[in-house]
Amino acid sequence: KGRDFHIRILLPVDLQLKNARIECSWRLKKILHGYRHILKQRLHSCPDLVSFMVELKTVLEIALKNTQDLHIPRPPEYYSCLIRDLEMLGWNRVAFVDTGLTTVKLKAEDSSGRQHPITLKLKAKYPTEPPDCLVDFPVPFAVSWMPQNSLIDIYNQFLAALELLKEFWDALDEIDEKTWVLEPENPTRSATTRRIAIGNNVSVNIEVDPHHPNMLPECYFLGADHEVNPLRTKLNNNMHSWDPKMSLLQNLRELLEIDFPSRAVLEKSDFAKDCGICYAYRLDGSTPDQVCDDPRCGQPFHQACLYEWLQGLPTSRQSFNVIFGECPYCNK
């Protein structure tokens, strides 16, 4: 039905879905009022959060069909005030307005020329109450609002917030442009991590702080031990020479004493090998991140594939949550 509902699922300490609590707006609570027993039953029977969300969507769609329309007509002052605000803001900054004039999407450009959208969900008491603002940011975006404020005030706060994140996006844009990013494939503006290819089945996962993008990020190396250990040593030995005045990528090059594979020279297939068990590169969104430690083998595997394979071997042994066994390729 094209309706948006915000819910919050609170998991207990043991992370058991069956003991979870659901919080939602009064409007959604009213719609789901007669379906509580079904939701409880679904929470008990669903194996994970994703399958519960699919079930919830189905229940919600049935509930919406059986509910009278909850759309409350808004007072004329709401529309006149909103149109006046949009006129003052300028229609060139408006990307979308829905037919009910309850959702407005605005567009803005930061000083580096990047386009950013902001979606405003307006409440019936606008402008007494501020709209909900949805942005693609790595940090929370809180609007400071007074009843006499208008959309221009939100827009100006949005522009100011964009400039505070400029250095963060500059750093990640350089990485996306000049290196091979294995994950995420299509990063959003809110994504703070990048898994960057270093060589054949060797990569580094970095977590960048949006508030301090030019400081040393958290680095986690993936690959065979004989490839990864020298990189860890270089990072630890050269950490003191990190220079906040240089770009994030340049600092990583200097510290690790490497040149990252360039998009201009290499294809992704040159260093992104398929899993040796399922023969696919991507499996449920993950890429092969377990590599055989034998220098002559170095075959990568998905963690899930390798775990399932090793579980099926009588020679494998398990200690707590770690499983030990032979490589499916070289038997080491």
The tens digit of pLDDT for each residue in 87-135 reads 999 999 999 999 889 999 999 999 999 999 999 999 988 999 999 999 9
| Exposure class string for 258-290: b at 16+ Cβ within 10 A, else e | eebbeeeeeeeeebbbbbbbeeebebeeebbbb
As for how many domains the chain has, the answer is 4
Distance CA 82, CA 262 (A): 49
Distance CA 27, CA 162 (A): 33
**Residue 230, domain member (yes or no):** yes
H or E element, residue 35: none
In this predicted model, what pLDDT tens digit does every residue of 193-212 receive, in sequence order? Answer: 999 999 877 889 999 999 99
* Mean model confidence pLDDT for the chain: 89
Q: Give the range among 18-22, 112-116, 157-161 with minimum mean pLDDT.
A: 18-22
Instruction: Identify the pLDDT of residue 311.
Output: 87
Q: Give start and end residues of each alpha helix (H) in 20-94.
A: 26-31, 36-45, 49-65, 76-89
Same domain for 282 and 324, yes or no, is yes
Asked if residue 282 and residue 251 are part of one domain, the reply reads no
pLDDT, tens only, 221-254: 988 788 889 999 999 999 999 999 999 999 999 9
Name the burial class of residue 85, with classes exposed (0-12), middle (13-18) and buried (19+) by CB atoms within 10 angstroms of its CB: buried
Residue 11: both structure tokens together: 């998991």
Which of 19, 41, 69 is the last residue in one of the domains?
A: 69
β-pairing, 317-319 vs 300-301, is: unpaired
Same domain, 154 and 94: yes
The structure tokens listed for 291 are: 């590599």
> At 218, phi and psi to the nearest 5?
-70, 130
Summarize pLDDT for 31-77 with one digit per residue, the tens.
888 888 888 888 888 888 899 999 999 999 888 887 765 556 788 99
Query: Domain containing 217: what range?
Result: 179-271
**Is the omega angle on the peptide bond into residue 127 within 30 degrees of 0, that is, cis?**
yes
Q: What's the pTM value of the predicted model, to 2 decimals? A: 0.66
Within a domain: 83: yes
- Nearest Cα to 261, choosing from 182, 168, 188, 167? 182
- In this structure, the answer to whether residues 48 and 63 fall within a common structural domain is yes
Q: What pLDDT score was predicted for residue 70?
A: 54
In a domain, residue 101? The reply is yes
Q: Helix %, strand %, coil % for the chain, to 5?
A: 35, 20, 45
